[in-house]
Chains A and B, each alone.
Chain A
């Protein structure tokens, strides 16, 4: 049997999803869920870099998501729409089609810089400090946004819908679906490349034995900061996409609840397993949708799932392994781990 590369399969999936959305085969509700899956893949795999691969505990991932969401939204609305906040648009709305990915990258960069600010004090010490500091940062970011009236405060911020409409006037294709999945694939690619380089494997060595890593030549402070910036930057981009998919954001979307969702996805999929993070992002998003009729009670069911998981499968669905290790027949389709590494 011919071995298909992951890139090839991702390409087919991408064409299929975008094509079906474009032709209207998929309802807008289904499309929305597909886009949330993409965003959640970005959230879970980027958090996995810290909690799974590096073995530290970060629990304020939504804070970085918020930074990215607000940064990109403010820029796109300022640049491409007329509104009460910024006045006339700076650039023709049509330019959004080209500039959107760059603005998204910029949002990620800002989130990464906030990540750096968090990393500098918290990685001077070992242990639980990162958990406490990230938790605090999550609250700080949320409260800060709530109290800046210029960007809507607690009421939230909107106008991104008009930006997306502006793109759709240029060409009537499912823009957000396209960007979401391009960035989701990019996230997976970057993380895969990071953890398979000698440079990035330093953070796995930190998880396994930090003192040995330091003595055997890994610049642990630097490695931790780079990994943390990458992780928070990717979360920022996920936030930017999230904002433009919904067209409306408010500080309430980026509470500790959102961070917990990301944590649940990481532990559900398995720490240090990239395919686990992808798998769990898909499952988790679907579970949340299925449980939507339960309303508030879904927050009883979801933690219960987590408790069951911790009792019966502590290492998560895949835990430190990839899909191809758990189901060897998949190697015939995807190739062996080594070939996958080579392909990426």
Chain B
């Protein structure tokens, strides 16, 4: 059984076909890139997978279980975590709290436990704290744990977003343009981080990216999307040589 499977995914926004018959299979351990010009439907696909939108047709399965129609927090609890194109941290919360709150999907205590601070609540909170600090330690964010997320520089905010996704212990990590807005040095560091995370946590990673240096460097396979349709699929070299891709990005040459 494949780890993750998308079959015939199609989505309409009113009359606009945003995604058309999109298919994908992850056996586990892949690092797949999803590229395409602006407005091609890349983020829409991520939103469809995460349950932000419910697809018009098609199915999304993780480990054989269907995800379509579930709420986003239920999707999270099945092992899919993501980051966002424009950073969506909780700015007025500390870095540590940002990571801790992501534990909400598998809280094993209820409202009354929190009110009476039962032993179940205290063990759970201690465990959450430990795991959150562990992730911050791994990503070298420990020194910023008590700072408000909004006060961190851009590159570190991206990293906190990755920390928040990692603490969920995802099987599949979706990264939506992780290098957007980063300078050259930060991009190099990001490539290293993604490679390392993948090995360390045995992650399957699905990456949307505009920056060709990052995509070509990282991904084993790349899918190219244009107007909601997959127009090419292959290794970075194949993609670079594919005339349809060049056409989608640069336009058709006049005869």
What residues make up the interface of A, taking CB atoms closer than 8 Å to B? 190, 193-194, 197-202, 204-205, 207-209, 211-221, 223, 226, 230, 320
Contacts and interface: CB of A to CB of B under 8 A. Distances in A.
Interface string B78-102: 0001101000111111000100111
A8 B52 CA distance: 48
Interface of B: 50-52, 71-73, 76-77, 81-82, 84, 88-93, 97, 100-107, 109-111, 114-115, 117, 121, 124-125, 128, 164-165, 168
Q: Chain A at the B interface: mostly helix, strand, loop or mixed? A: helix
A216 B100 contact: no
B102 A216 contact: yes
A193 B125 CA distance: 12
Given A194-B114, A208-B90, A215-B51, 10 more contacts: A197-B114, A198-B104, A208-B92, A209-B89, A212-B88, A214-B71, A217-B73, A218-B73, A218-B101, A221-B71
Nearest to A200: B114
B225 to A, nearest CB: 21
Given A204-B93, A215-B52, A226 B111 contact: yes
A212 B125 contact: no
Contacts of A201: 93, 97, 100-101
Nearest to B150: A208
A286 to B, nearest CB: 30
Contacts, number: 99
A212 B73 CA distance: 10
A198 B93 contact: no
Interface core residue of B71, B77, B107, B114 (most chain A CB under 10 Å)? B114
A219 B90 contact: no
Contact of A216 (B76, B114, B117, B125): B76
Contacts of B102: 216-217
Contacts of A320: 92
A218 B76 CA distance: 9
Contact of A213 (B84, B92, B101, B128): B101
A78 B205 CA distance: 65
B200 to A, nearest CB: 21
Contacts of B109: 199
Contacts of A194: 114-115
B114 A205 contact: no
B88 A205 contact: no
Nearest to A194: B114
Contacts of B50: 215
A209 B101 contact: no
A219 B111 CA distance: 13
Contacts of A200: 114
Nearest to B128: A198
A216 B159 CA distance: 15
Nearest to A197: B114
A209 B117 CA distance: 27
Contact of A218 (B52, B88, B92, B104): B104
Nearest to A202: B104
A210 to B, nearest CB: 10
Nearest to A219: B73
Contact of B125 (A190, A198, A230): A198
A226 B112 CA distance: 11
A217 B104 contact: yes
A49 to B, nearest CB: 13
B90 A213 contact: yes
Contact of B164 (A202, A216, A230): A216
- By CB atoms of chain B within 10 A, which of A212, A216, A218 has the most? A216
B104 A219 contact: yes
A193 B117 contact: yes
B104 A215 contact: no
A104 B165 CA distance: 43
Contacts of A212: 84, 88-90
